[in-house]
Structure 1
Amino acid sequence: MALVSGIDVIEECTSRGLVAGAFNTTNLETTMGIIEAVERVGVPTFIQVAPTNVALSGYEYIYDMVSRRLATATTPVALHLDHGKTIQSVEDALAARFTSIMIDDSEASYDDNVATSSRARELTPRSLALEAELGSIGGKEDDVAPEFAATTDPAQVAHFVETVGVDMLAVSVGNQHGYVPNASIDFDLLAQVRDASPVPLVIHGGSGLPAEQLGRLHEFNVVKVNVASDLRNAMIRSFGEAYIANPKEVSLIRVSTGAVAAIADVVEARIRTLNPSVA
């Protein structure tokens, strides 16, 4: 199946009461592991990459790698720009044929966030999904932490969504990027944001949240949950365990295949946790 628009993933998930995992890739092993798991479970999914990670390969390589692997897949998958901090990153991802875009100017003032996000909407065709962030999510994304973190103000949600024209809204409701011991969803705040938002919500920082909280997110009009650290840790751990088992190991194929399997198991577990109704 060819890559689909993020709009298609959103619509299928909302119609079926599902939550799409959004899994960050950087390389071939991670991509193959993600898609293997997606095919096992059959839940529409986002594969995504942040600008901090395209330094290794460029947007075009990510597109080619994902689209080629998906050619033999059957589950709808969108290719998403994660945390596009600049309009240039939006333009670069669109030029590389990404099918879903995130603009993140959440650390700016509200008015500046509206202005930057609106510009991203002008550039992003309505046939493709646009995500923006309101409230600044704490923790670290690729070792980059925000200068400040702030929860989403429910009173700003409707105006922001309608003014910008986003298709989904990333919110800060206790979730944090990376592994943060005290990360915990404030479900009372999340309910207020849900009630104020005309569009589905996005939760970043899925790696650090308890499974019991991830399993409740479908109740709050959450359509997308980002997971990155879990996958990266699985790959690094797999390679490390292979080296410890045999410091003279020279079969990169054998070790890489083990990493693909480890990543697939993590992705499958996360998809099932997010979707308790999936057998």
Structure 2
Amino acid sequence: MPLVSGFDVIEQCTSRGLVAGAFNTTNIETTMGIVDAIERVGVPTFVQVAPTNVALSGYEYIYDMVSRRLEKTKVPVALHLDHGKNLQAVQDSLAADFTSVMIDTSEEEYEENVHLSAKAREIAPADVSVEAELGAIGGKEDEIGPDEASGTSPEQVADFVARTKCDMLAVSVGNVHGYAPDARIDFDLLRRVQEQSSVPLVIHGGSGLPVEQFARFHEFGVVKVNIASDLRNAMIRTFGEAYVANPHEHSLIKVSRNAVTAIADVVERRIRQFNPSVK
């Protein structure tokens, strides 16, 4: 199946009471592992990449790699820009035919965040979904993070969504990027945010959250949960264990295949944890 619009993934998930995983790729092994898992489970999904990770390849390579792997896949998948920190990143991903984008100017003052997020919605085609962020999510994404994390203010949500016309809203409600063993979702705050939002919500930093919290997300209007660190760790660990077991290992394809399997297992497990009703 060709890549679908982010709107298609959102609609299918909301209509079926599902939560889409959003899994970050960087290379062929990660992409293969993600899609292998999607095919096993059958839940509509986002595959995404952050600008920090296109430094190796460029947006066009990511698009070609993901779209080719999906040609024979029956599950709807959107290709999403994660944490576009400026309008140039949004424009570059759109030029490479991404089907969903995120503008993340949450570290700016409120009015500037509104302005830039609205601008991203203006430049994106009507069939491309736009995610924006309100409240700065803590932690590090590829060693980049806000100087100071701040929770999403429920009092700002309705105004922000109305003025930016975003299609998904990323929120800061106790979630933290990367591995954060003390991270916990504040479900009371998440409920207050949901009550003020007319669009589905997005949780970043899923890798560090307690597993028992995942199954509750669909109750709070969450349509998308981002997972990156889990996948990267699975790949790095696979190569590291291969080297420790045999410092003279030279079969790159064998280790790469093992990495694909390890990544697929992580992705499948996370999708099922988000959606315990899926068999």
Q: How far off its partner does 1:62 sit?
A: 0.2
Spell out the pairing of 1:191-270 with structure 2 (5 A cutoff).
191-270=191-270
Report matched runs for 1:55-134 at 5 Å. 55-134=55-134
Compute the displacement of 1:72 (Å). 1.1
**Letter paired with 1:114:** V
What CA deviation, in whole Å up to 9, does each residue of 1:48-97 have, x standing for no partner?
00000000000000000000000011100000000000100000000000
Deviations 1:141-175 (A, max 9, x none): 01112111100000110111111111110000000
Q: CA separation in 2, counterparts of 1:158 and 1:19?
A: 22
CA distance in 2, matches of 1:31, 1:90: 21
- Deviation string, structure 1 residues 185-224 (Cα, Å, up to 9, x no partner): 0000000001110000000000000010111111101000
- Tell me the SS of whatever aligns to 1:79: strand
Match of 2:15 in 1: 15
Please give the per-residue CA displacement for 1:5-37, whole angstroms capped at 9, x wherever unaligned: 000000000000000000000000000000000
Are 1:160 and 2:160 counterparts? yes
Asked if 1:271 is matched to 2:271, the reply is yes
Quote the offset at 1:276 in angstroms: 1.0
Partner of 1:172: 172
State the match for 2:45 in structure 1.
Answer: 45
CA RMSD of aligned residues (A): 0.5
Whole-angstrom CA distance in 2 between matches of 1:182 and 1:251: 39
Structure 2 Cα separation of the partners of residues 193 and 154 of structure 1: 5
Counterpart of 2:143 in structure 1: which amino acid?
D
Aligned match of 2:34 = 34
Offset at residue 182 of structure 1 (A): 1.1
> Which runs of 5 or more structure 2 residues have no equivalent in the other structure?
none
Q: 1:83, 1:102 → 2: CA distance?
A: 6
Moved more, 15-24 or 142-151: 142-151
Give 2:135's aligned residue.
Answer: 135
Equivalent position amino acid for 1:194 in 2: Q
Q: How many Å separate the matches in 2 of 1:127 and 1:115?
A: 21
User: Structure 2: how far apart are the matches of 1:145 and 1:110?
Assistant: 18
Structure 1 residue runs without a partner (length 5+): none
- Matches of 1:246 and 1:215 in 2, distance apart? 40
**2:17 maps to amino acid:** G
Distance 1:215 1:27 in 2: 29
The aligned amino acid for 1:61 is Y
Structure 1 distance, partners of 2:177, 2:117, is: 21
C-alpha distance in 2, partners of 1:183/1:275? 21
Identity rate of aligned residues, in percent? 71
Q: What is the rounded CA distance, in whole Å, between the counterparts of 1:76 and 1:26 in structure 2?
A: 20
Q: How many matched pairs?
A: 279
More deviation, 258-267/214-223: 214-223
